[in-house]
């Protein structure tokens, strides 16, 4: 019987039937992405379906940027993931590829997948990471060719918390396609998170929504619990990165 990894390998092989691709058209995009990554101190890589490897534009898991890998195979990237999270991440990717395959080519660049998993650094310490994938380029046949991967670190040495949330969101319309959404916030919690992001405090939010301050505070506690964060700033980072606000 095939295991999850074997199914995923076959899934990738299916998407690799893309023909040739013009690499010259992505060089400007790579330069822009690298500058963005350095400015935000996030990891950005490009996954190439044809080569079945990642090109690392900026890495955050080594002590020196000069030590970062330039390319990394899909298997090497997977080896950094916590063993308990591997099947979860594969299911997230397979589900996403299945959804994207049903979309018109002109809409592919509008969607983002975001999910959590734990990844280890060069010392073997696991970090809580949010992965964000977006279609960077399609080929002449309208098939996915390059993905942009962005890794955002939520916490260090957090190897006891299993991943919980996964979302597919249209970044243009903000329409959300949820799956395995145990940690996703309710519409009211998203609304309150949005006001918090705008600088409102609990009292002003209560006045805005015609509810009590205690109710707002209860929602804020639920937001921290669901995002598994210790303060409002981290909770808002989580919500933005996951595409909830």
Domains of the chain: 4-178 (3.30.450.20), 187-241 (1.10.10.10)
170/13: higher pLDDT: 170
Q: Please report the pLDDT score of residue 181 as a whole number.
A: 58
Of 44, 40, 65, which Cα lies nearest the Cα of 56? 44
Pairing of strands 53-58, 71-73: antiparallel
Q: Please report the pLDDT score of residue 91 as a whole number.
A: 86
**pLDDT at residue 4 greater than cutoff 70:** no
Query: 176: how many CB neighbours lie within 10 A of its CB?
Result: 15
Q: What percent of the chain has pLDDT over 70?
A: 86
**pLDDT at residue 166 greater than cutoff 90:** no
**pLDDT at residue 39 greater than cutoff 90:** no
Q: Please report the pLDDT score of residue 63 as a whole number.
A: 55
Q: Please report the pLDDT score of residue 206 as a whole number.
A: 96
Query: 106: how many CB neighbours lie within 10 A of its CB?
Result: 9
Give 208-227 pLDDT, tens digit per residue. Answer: 999 999 999 999 999 998 88
What is the phi-psi region of residue 46: left when phi exceeds 0, alpha when psi lies from -120 to 50, beta otherwise?
beta
Longest dimension (CA), the chain: 60
Q: Lowest-confidence range among 7-11, 16-20, 114-118, 194-198?
A: 16-20
When pLDDT is cut at 50, 70 and 90, the band that residue 67 belongs to is: low
Residues 6+ apart with CB under 8 A from 89: 78, 81, 115, 117, 131, 163
Q: Please report the pLDDT score of residue 218 as a whole number.
A: 96
- Report pTM: 0.83
């Amino acid at each position: 019987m095939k295991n999850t990894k074997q199914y995923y390998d076959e899934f990738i092989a299916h998407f690799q039937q893309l023909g040739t691709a013009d690499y010259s058209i992505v060089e400007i995009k790579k330069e822009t992405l690298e500058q963005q990554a350095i400015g935000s101190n996030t990891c950005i890589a490009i996954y190439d379906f044809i080569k079945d490897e990642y090109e690392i534009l900026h890495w955050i898991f080594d002590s020196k940027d000069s030590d970062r890998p330039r390319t990394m195979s899909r298997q090497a990237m997977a080896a950094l993931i916590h063993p308990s999270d591997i099947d979860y991440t594969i299911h997230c990717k397979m589900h996403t590829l299945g959804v994207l395959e049903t979309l018109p080519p002109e809409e592919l660049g509008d969607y983002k997948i975001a999910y959590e998993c734990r990844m280890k650094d060069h010392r073997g310490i696991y970090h809580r990471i949010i992965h964000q994938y977006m279609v960077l380029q399609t080929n002449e046949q309208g098939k996915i060719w390059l993905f942009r991967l962005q890794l955002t670190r939520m916490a260090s040495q957090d190897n006891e918390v299993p991943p919980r949330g996964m979302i597919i969101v249209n970044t243009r319309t903000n329409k959300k396609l949820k799956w395995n959404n145990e940690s996703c916030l309710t519409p009211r919690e998203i609304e309150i998170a949005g006001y918090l992001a705008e600088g409102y405090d609990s009292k002003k939010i209560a006045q805005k929504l015609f509810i009590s301050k205690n109710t707002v505070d209860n929602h804020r506690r639920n937001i921290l619990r669901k995002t598994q964060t210790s303060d409002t700033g981290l909770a808002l980072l989580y919500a933005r990165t996951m595409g909830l606000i």
